[in-house]
Amino acid sequence: MTAINGAARACASVSTMRQEHQVAIIGGGMVGETLAALLASRGIDTALIEAQATAAFAPDSEPDLRVSALNPLSTALLHSLGAWERVQAMRAEPFRRMQVFEGDQRPGLCFDAAEVDGEALGHIVENRIVQSALQSLQQPYLHRYCPARLRAMVTLPDRCELHLDTGQRLRVQLVIGADGAHSQVRQWAHIDTEFVHYAQQALVLNAVVDHDDATWQRFVPSGAQALLPLPGRRASLVWYHDASHCAHIQSLDRQAQCEHLMQAFPEELGKVEAVLASGHFPLSMHHARRYWAPRVALVGDAAHSVHPLAGQGVNLGLLDAQALADVLSAQGDCGDSASLRRYEQARRADNAMMLRALHSVYQTFSVDQPLWSGARAALLAMSHRAGPAKRWVMRHAAGERV
């Protein structure tokens, strides 16, 4: 396949210097950074191209709005790279219990780490801290291009040529799109996606509240509300709602936001002393029909994105990173189609199953009718009592293949 666009022709005249690497990863989000560290640790000469530099961590800073629940398998992967200790030295909050309930019905479905002999069900971590921890690793085989944006790529049978907005040109065996849900690499490789746009948005508010080592999620007919504990007396509150409601809450002053939250959220929230920051994020589900094209592979949100209500997005992306690293070798041709096919076989069906499951959860819990509300409460209560099934769900959410 050969693909070139106008920007490539423009860039070509800026610089004739060409750097050679085995692999180029486009996008240094959590997934791209993790994959870069994995490949470099295996002696693969890797270029990481990221458009935005990550701000240095300041211990007295307030938490960022973008946080993720990392499951034990993800933290184990970061640990194996030497990055998890660095995350913990900055900021991370474990949660040992999780409660999911419908409206005012309690207890709903409760998970406890003790039921699967675990120390924690997961950790809530700021995305930028995971990126910073990975960036601080010493990796002789890793070459960073940051800030730099991929402007164009040309794929040829034996290599791929990349044009950056800095004027630099790279020649690589394989380009990996880790450039997020709106992946340009995916578009340039002509890989289609299945796409579902959700009417709801995720309104995220960082607040000062008391909490223990638990996270909870309440389903109400208009959407869902959740608390993710952060270090100290901080929590990330997530409210899934239609766009106009999210805009309305964001237009309120901080005091009015506190009062509104205490009114609308369940009593588990307690007193909201302050709202520190808020933002909203559009929601969609998409799945690339293929995870590879000649000399191109996709990982993380570039390959799939899911509704965040079950906190699985980056956890799936890190499994992609691990699987792709496992099929590439420093000695062979990293762009070899047989390896890329093995990667797709290892990941696409598993991801498709998770995407379908999460979409079904979204559909089941977004029907605004009293009868459905009762059925959902009964379903959660029944699931709570079904010991083996509940443990299966817990192990799956923790990233284990069960």
Ligand X SMILES: Cc1cc2nc3c(=O)[nH]c(=O)nc-3n(C[C@H](O)[C@H](O)[C@H](O)COP(=O)(O)OP(=O)(O)OC[C@H]3O[C@@H](n4cnc5c(N)ncnc54)[C@H](O)[C@@H]3O)c2cc1C
Site string (262-301) toward ligand X, x via CB under 6 A: -------------------x------------------xx
- How far apart CA 5 and CA 189 sit, in angstroms, is 12
Considering only residues 45, 50, 161, 344, which one is a binding residue for ligand X as defined by CB under 6 A? 50
Q: Which is nearer to ligand X, 228 or 269 (CB)?
A: 228
Minimum Å gap between C-beta 308 and ligand X is 4
Please state at what angle helix 337-364 crosses helix 370-385, rounded to 10 degrees: 120
Q: Which is nearer to ligand X, 15 or 255 (CB)?
A: 15
Minimum Å gap between C-beta 21 and ligand X is 15
Residue 22 backbone zone (phi > 0: left; psi -120 to 50: alpha; other: beta): alpha
Site string (109-128) toward ligand X, x via CB under 6 A: ------------------x-
Site string (174-213) toward ligand X, x via CB under 6 A: ----xxx---x-----------------x-x---------
Number of C-beta neighbours around residue 400 at 10 A: 13
Q: Which is nearer to ligand X, 189 or 314 (CB)?
A: 314
| Cross-strand partners of 126 | 67
Site string (137-156) toward ligand X, x via CB under 6 A: ------------xx------
Contact flag: residue 315 with ligand X (CB under 6 A): yes
Q: Which is nearer to ligand X, 45 or 179 (CB)?
A: 179
Binding residue count for ligand X, defined by CB under 6 A: 32
Residues present in the chain in total = 402
Contact flag: residue 328 with ligand X (CB under 6 A): no
Binding residues among 11-40 for ligand X as defined by CB under 6 A: 26-32
Minimum Å gap between C-beta 317 and ligand X is 5
- How far apart CA 224 and CA 283 sit, in angstroms, is 13
* Side chain identity at residue 306, one-letter code: V
Q: Which is nearer to ligand X, 278 or 312 (CB)?
A: 312
Which of these, 306, 369, 357, lies nearest to 103 by C-alpha position? 369
Contact flag: residue 229 with ligand X (CB under 6 A): no
Contact flag: residue 335 with ligand X (CB under 6 A): no
Contact set with ligand X (CB under 6 A):
26-32, 49-52, 68-69, 127, 149-150, 178-180, 184, 202, 204, 281, 300-301, 308, 311-315, 317
